[in-house]
Structures are given as structure tokens and as C-alpha cells.
A and B are shown apart, each in its own frame.
Chain A
Amino acid sequence: DTEVTQTPKHLVMGMTNKKSLKCEQHMGHRAMYWYKQKAKKPPELMFVYSYEKLSINESVPSRFSPECPNSSLLNLHLHALQPEDSALYLCASSRNLAESSYNEQFFGPGTRLTVL
């Protein structure tokens, strides 16, 4: 199984809502990533987990809260978001972090988030 799955595909939420994005992979990868991508822009790294521990936080606002319950799952909890947070949220995984630069990253299809 060489697939990264993400749910939901689309999410519309108000600024006071709490929601979660989910990501799953069964390739035995030990590094998992959250990216945010705005239209016509490249993916921007948000968080990196290595062996279920948060390794990199790219100064993301606290209204985004990542969680890695086990080696196959990655969640992104959302609370009190702003309209400018509307974007495509991509999850990715790779074999491990130390070799991230020469291991390909496998991306999920993304969750299209709209904040009203």
C-alpha cells in the first residue's frame, strides 16, 4: 500500500468551530508532515513528526494543533481559525526524517478547507 489517505476531502467551518483533519499511511514511514498550500503557491511546511514526536514546528499559530497518536496516523486539530486559513492542507510521509532530503515524500490528496 503506497497511499496516503486524508479525510475529509472538503471542510467548511466557521471561525468558532473546532474540527480535525486526519491522515493515515501504512507504508511503515516514520516521518509525517503537514503542509498548507494556497492557490498558485508551493506547499508550505507546517509541522514534521519523526517517530511520533514533533520535530519541526514552522512557527504555526496555536489555532493549529498537530497530533500523532501512532506511527500510521497524523491529525491536525483546528480551532478558532480565520478566513485567511482557507487553503489546501496536505499530509505527506517519508521513510524517516534523517533521510528526508533523499527519500521521496508521498503526499495525500489533501483537504480543501474553507473558513467562513
Chain B
Amino acid sequence: SQKIEQNSEALNIQEGKTATLTCNYTNYSPAYLQWYRQDPGRGPVFLLLIRENEKEKRKERLKVTFDTTLKQSLFHITASQPADSATYLCALDQDDKIIFGKGTRLHILP
């Protein structure tokens, strides 16, 4: 079965810099890959979806890339702010459901 690896459990970034989070998967390339944000004690919130035939997707300060050769997606937050501090989860499809990676806890330091 598919495995998802978000290789940084926690990441500290200085305010104003670009935060880059990594999501790797092990088996077949998913048709789609999603990124969610989760704040403590709350449900995840959808951020972006990227299809396997798309190299890059942007939304405001967010950018996602998808490299099916490397089996990897990168999630970038530019001009990071303390309010961006949260856990970021990548998710991909498997058998009519989505499975989540363990997430990366991002701390933006003022």
C-alpha cells in the first residue's frame, strides 16, 4: 500500500522567509495530491490540490509542486508570517479514500 513521508516533524522558519515542506510517497503516483492546514484541536482545512499532470499550483502566498519522477511534492509559503504557524498535512488518494501524511509542524519565528 501507499506510504506517505513528510520528512520534517517540525520546522522553524524566520518570519519573512520562505518555508518549504516536503511530502514523499513510496509507490504508484497518485492522480492528485492535496495539502491541508491543521491548527491545534481543530479539523484540517483544505489549502491546495495538484494533479499529476500539473507541475505547479499557486494560491496567494502558497505554491505546490508535484514531481512524479521524484515521487515528491513540495509546499512553499512565501513571505511567511507567525499566523502561518500550524501543522501542514499532505494527502493523496488510495482506493476511493485519501490518506494523510504525519504532517509537519511549522513554527514561524517573529
Contact = CB atoms under 8 A, between A and B. Distances in A.
Are the chains A and B members of one assembly? Answer: yes
Interface residues of B, number: 23
B50 to A, nearest CB: 10
Contacts of B101: 42
Interface in B11-52: 30-32, 34, 41-46, 49, 51
Nearest to A45: B97
Contacts of B97: 45, 48, 56, 100
A104 B100 contact: no
Interface residues of A, number: 24
B89 A55 contact: no
B29 to A, nearest CB: 12
B14 to A, nearest CB: 24
A105 B46 contact: yes
Contacts of B42: 109-110
Nearest to B47: A104
Given A41-B102, A98-B96, A88 B41 contact: yes
B46 A104 contact: yes
B90 to A, nearest CB: 10
Contacts of A112: 41
Interface centre among B30, B49, B100, B103 (most CB of A within 10 A): B100
A108 B38 CA distance: 12
Contact of B43 (A90, A100, A101): A90
B108 to A, nearest CB: 19
Contacts of B99: 45
A56 B100 CA distance: 16
A88 B42 CA distance: 9
Interface of B: 30-32, 34, 41-46, 49, 51, 89, 92-93, 96-103
8 contacts: A41-B102, A42-B100, A88-B41, A97-B96, A98-B96, A100-B93, A101-B96, A105-B46
